[in-house]
Amino acid sequence: MSSTTNTTLATLLAIVTLLSAAPSALLSALPSALLSADEKHLSVYSPVAIYTLPVLDRAGREYIGLLELLEPLGRVRAESEGRRWRLRYNAVDAEFIAGKTRARIGGRDFDFMAPFLLENSRGLVPLSSLSGFLPRFLGTSVNFRESARRLFVGDVGVQISFELDTGNPPRLALNFTAPVNPTISTEPGKLRMVFKRDPVISPGSQSISFDNKVITHAAYSENNGDAELEVAANEPLIASFTNSRRTIVVSAVPQGTPANGAPGVVAPGPQTPPQSPTQTPPPEPPVVHRVLAVVDPAHGGEERGAALTDKLAEKDVTLGFARLLRHELDLRGFAVILLRDGDITSGLDQRAAAANTARAGIYISLHAVAQGSGARVYTALLPVEGTSKGVFHAWNAAQEPSLPISRIVSAAIVNEMQKREFPVRASSASLRPLNNVFMPAVAVELAPGPDGLADLTSANYQQRAASAIANAVLSVRDRLGVQQ
């Protein structure tokens, strides 16, 4: 077993290099699910879902698709008939007429600030009316920060507080009331955290000054669906997460530590920064600021998997599916490694070791079958012996501590697929290498849909499954990682 470790590391490094070097041709070929940075966005934060939608400009006003806005929050359907558009959200009926400002929602009239628009059966409502009409559908208050295009449904705001330790080097702790996952970047004199998916709210004042020569101030701003926190200093800064991602510690780069290529992340390597004898806080382990998902397209190379048709091998379906899943996870803020991004042969032990070496937050293996319909989600079925005595058993039951979380991930996937009316079943199976990975692990087997075998190669069909998996993984993000 030890002999495979070096090969695995080399393979993994090669994959990482390949991923960072290759321009992503796949992304440009996808439908316009990607939101480009300069497009206008609305971010929605609610207890059931956090998502971002494109904002459209029509006749000098900002509009949003109402169906897309409500869909993640509940059961919704809509139909159009001529200029009329009817929508039902949970038990609330609404009727809109193209070109009119007056609509009927839940049996009562509502006057929008601009006319309702109907484009290819898609109903658009003016953004400026969101806080007025949404409570009629949701039955709960909303807080819409219109200039920032951020919508808070219910009590979901995450608050920030600051704590400065003026030791040498000084450390600024940013404490949040819930785990956060910002994108962190550095530039001379600044460390910038962009919160795309966290319902972070203003710390009260837009700018906070610190009585410190090194870390001088912090500024909060929000714009186009994002919140941003910038810390200014007279020395280069680094950031690390602690306290289950509820705290970000920003500190000056300890002298002698070379600036690292990965912005904002503590460099691996010398882990203990030089500390003055009076300084008590222990150094925190380096944590990459995004949860890493390892996606494993099962089979590959010599090993073709099942013959789905005369010409179609499982290994090819799993690869395409895995690439779509990578894209979906990436959109939701995960870092993703594909265990193969080509037609490569790779053993089961090698795959498990690669996930373990990368210390991924989650491992997802993808399979495909010609029989059945929809999808099946597997978690590991551990050997009866349970916890181990020897190396062999340990390897076979590596999954054991994470299995409860794996089952939660599996249930979340089933739930998301059912929302999309995807037939789905969950089972346990001794399906290697699920047993051998330390982190939460599931396998998803894709079966044909209503269009039969053609679905297995349909990007549209795979995309629905991939987005369900990615939503599910996001919904349990805070529980991922190696369980102790």
Are 336 and 295 in contact, with CB atoms under 8 Å apart? Answer: yes
Of 137, 132, 117, which is closest to residue 76 (Cα–Cα)? 137
Q: How far is the CB of 413 from Zn ion (least distance, A)?
A: 17
Tell me: cis bond preceding 179? Omega within 30 of 0 counts: no
Of 368, 380, 355, which is closest to residue 296 (Cα–Cα)? 355
Q: How far is the CB of 317 from Zn ion (least distance, A)?
A: 9
Report the SS3 class of residue 285.
coil
Cα dist from 106 to 63, 89, 222, 305, 402, whole Å:
21, 10, 33, 53, 46
453-472 positions binding Zn ion, by CB under 5 A: none
Q: How far is the CB of 56 from Zn ion (least distance, A)?
A: 42
By CB under 5 A, residue 305 contacts Zn ion: yes
Q: How far is the CB of 341 from Zn ion (least distance, A)?
A: 18
Q: Which residues, in sequence order, are bridge partners of residue 363?
A: 294, 441
By CB under 5 A, residue 315 contacts Zn ion: no
15-74 positions binding Zn ion, by CB under 5 A: none
Q: How far is the CB of 348 from Zn ion (least distance, A)?
A: 11
Are 49 and 72 in contact, with CB atoms under 8 Å apart? Answer: yes
Judged by CB under 5 A, which stretch of 128-136, 144-152, 167-175, 298-306 contacts Zn ion? 298-306
Q: How far is the CB of 441 from Zn ion (least distance, A)?
A: 15
Judged by CB under 5 A, which stretch of 218-226, 247-255, 292-300, 398-406 contacts Zn ion? 292-300
Nearer to Zn ion, 218 or 441 (CB): 441
| Amino acid at position 42, single letter | L
> Out of 171, 197, 332, 367, which residue is the one contacting Zn ion (CB under 5 A)?
367
Judged by CB under 5 A, which stretch of 26-34, 110-118, 149-157, 296-304 contacts Zn ion? 296-304
Nearer to Zn ion, 226 or 455 (CB): 455
Name the E strands within 313-390: 335-338, 362-368, 375-380
What's the Rg (C-alpha) of the chain? 25
By CB under 5 A, residue 351 contacts Zn ion: no
Nearer to Zn ion, 318 or 406 (CB): 318
CA atoms within a 13 Å half-sphere pointing along the CA-CB vector of 126: 20
By CB under 5 A, residue 225 contacts Zn ion: no
Judged by CB under 5 A, which stretch of 61-69, 94-102, 239-247, 297-305 contacts Zn ion? 297-305
Nearer to Zn ion, 211 or 302 (CB): 302
Q: How far is the CB of 415 from Zn ion (least distance, A)?
A: 24
For residue 179, give every residue at least 6 positions away whose Cβ sits within 8 Å of its Cβ, in sequence order, or none.
244, 245, 246, 478
> How far is residue 270 CA from its own chain's centroid?
30
Judged by CB under 5 A, which stretch of 221-229, 236-244, 295-303, 450-458 contacts Zn ion? 295-303
Judged by CB under 5 A, which stretch of 28-36, 240-248, 364-372, 429-437 contacts Zn ion? 364-372
Q: How far is the CB of 318 from Zn ion (least distance, A)?
A: 7
Judged by CB under 5 A, which stretch of 84-92, 121-129, 199-207, 300-308 contacts Zn ion? 300-308
Which residues in 198-233 are b (16+ Cβ under 10 Å) and which e? bbbbbbeeeebebeeebbeebbbebebbbbbbbbbb
The count of chain residues that interact with Zn ion, using the rule CB under 5 A, is 3
Dihedral sign, Cα of residue 247, residue 252, residue 257, residue 262: positive
By CB under 5 A, residue 298 contacts Zn ion: yes
Q: How far is the CB of 379 from Zn ion (least distance, A)?
A: 16
Nearer to Zn ion, 184 or 368 (CB): 368
Judged by CB under 5 A, which stretch of 92-100, 326-334, 362-370, 475-483 contacts Zn ion? 362-370
Q: How far is the CB of 18 from Zn ion (least distance, A)?
A: 23
Q: How far is the CB of 443 from Zn ion (least distance, A)?
A: 8
Residue nearest to Zn ion (CB): 367
Tokens of 321: 């599916």
Are 144 and 153 in contact, with CB atoms under 8 Å apart? Answer: no
Euclidean distance between CA atoms 229 and 9, whole angstroms: 36
Of 348, 236, 228, 237, which is closest to residue 296 (Cα–Cα)? 348
DSSP code of residue 300 = B
Nearer to Zn ion, 170 or 305 (CB): 305
By the criterion CB under 5 A, which residues form the site for Zn ion? 298, 305, 367
